[in-house]
A and B are shown apart, each in its own frame.
Chain A
């Protein structure tokens, strides 16, 4: 007759509780969504992010309430604008906002996925947009805080095929101060309806122009000393 050896369940549970109890507040047992974003972690990190960026937001009315949209923002080198734009908009709208551009290796890629990053791949972006997600993508990085770089038309193509709006979001932050500004513009409407790939190319170009116009309207510091102005702007 075989002898049945049962798992000492109570002993295991007691050990597990002893091991995990100190970390419990930091380790919720269900907080990742279907794209790997950990809402609990984002909420936990948001106060720390605010120590770096005190973000003022304008133009929230331009964001769709429920459907997806591609939000294109400018990025000064090392400003991490997609991160703070996504988090600030997520906090303001109470919707998960994702951003494009995570490497695919641990631990950085895995950590960025937990805070809402997607791969820099038009198919990945298309999938998220099709499911009604708000996705922030950065234009090409520039050295000047008020210059919008070129917009990747392949990422815009993902929005075109997913039939969602492309919305310019101007962002400005200081390299030395906490002040940051996020201004959401109206959705870009193409002048002509195109059936082919010209649609995304023209929308990408129009998005850059819109973005630049919003950045120009935001203005910058005017001290009379260009170097100080530049530093002040970040």
Chain B
């Protein structure tokens, strides 16, 4: 595919770890001309070319103003708050809904817009009874958790906007994203000294590393993705196996003690939201082969490798004048 250089890209949610990674990768792409980002938090990485605007998701007028003035060719919508990652479930739902309305609504007013790529999650397939073990993109969404419903709404709003203005819309349905600085309730739970797991089910799940997810977004923007794709690291692991790999103390649970454990975990700083409970009880796998076929993208790390790295990441990064932080990674 021939791609014209000098494309204008807008990244919503650029302040988050995934948004910062995507922006730093986009800065190195020759086809990217101008890069603009909006988020409520400043970017987590040093960005050289990107222009950043710090705006609250509820401040729709300012968002619309910045987006329409920038007039992007591609919108990468990453302003999604996973429940209990950076905000509680109620706040996450509100912030995500505000950001979806503001960014996608503003993008619809941009005459140069050609493509929208949104962040979604494999949580939207749901884990109801008789749900497929490993759904692919053809399976109809049937979310069974709040986060699943949130990402389903993002996809439906994006599809409606794209249909009205006639642009391509692609969605990347990410497996639970883990990374050294990614606020993830699943990652936080697994790093606790004592980790609960379902002794009756102990189902398998898959994850994806933040750097791999970021590369998928860059490819999707470059190729003007026009369909949903699952982005999942190959392989699978169960809760107990993850605990064993991390040398944590496994806590087998079978029934109502889960409620007590959730409360205690919340007090200990690792709340277990509904969609993480679903992972531990019903598993979460998805077929990610289409991403390879469509984007030519293959995650660099398998699920067990990502889990290993989760436990290898430093808890505390001490920064001194002479020694740079060792865990800051360069995404190639």
Contacts and interface: CB of A to CB of B under 8 A. Distances in A.
Contact of B249 (A15, A28, A35, A131): A15
A27 B206 contact: no
A56 interface: no
B289 A131 contact: yes
Interface stretch (A117-125, A137-145, A190-198): A117-125
Interface stretch (A79-87, A99-107, A175-183, A218-226): A99-107
Contacts of A131: 287, 289
Interface stretch (A6-14, A66-74, A146-154, A201-209): A6-14
B133 A119 contact: yes
B132 A16 contact: no
A36 to B, nearest CB: 5
A124 to B, nearest CB: 5
Contacts of B202: 110
A6 B316 contact: yes
Contact of A28 (B201, B203, B241): B241
Contacts of A12: 193, 247-249
B315 A7 contact: yes
Contact of A34 (B135, B206, B241, B245): B206
A19 B248 CA distance: 10
Interface string A4-43: 1011100011011101100000011111111110000000
Interface string A125-140: 0010001000000000
A79 B189 CA distance: 43
B177 interface: no
Interface residues of B, number: 39
A76 interface: no
Interface residues on A, range: 20 to 34
Contacts of B134: 34-35, 124, 127
Main secondary structure of the interface of B (DSSP, over half): loop
Contacts of B236: 32-34, 36
A16 B192 CA distance: 12
Contacts of B135: 127
Given A12-B247, A30-B304, A119 B316 contact: no
B200 A107 contact: yes
A210 interface: no
A27 B200 contact: no
B249 A121 contact: no
Contacts of A30: 235, 237, 241, 245, 304
B136 interface: yes
Contact of B238 (A19, A20, A32, A105): A32
Contact of A119 (B132, B136, B234, B243): B132
B200 A110 contact: yes
Given A106-B200, A107-B201, A110-B200, A20 B250 contact: yes
Which of A16, A27, A104 is packed against the most chain B CB atoms within 10 Å?
Answer: A16
B223 interface: no
Contacts of A36: 133, 203-204, 236, 283, 285
B130 interface: yes
B319 interface: no
8 closest Cβ contacts across the A-B interface? Answer: A106-B200, A106-B201, A110-B201, A29-B244, A12-B193, A107-B200, A13-B247, A36-B204
8 contacts: A13-B247, A16-B247, A20-B250, A30-B245, A30-B304, A32-B236, A33-B236, A36-B236
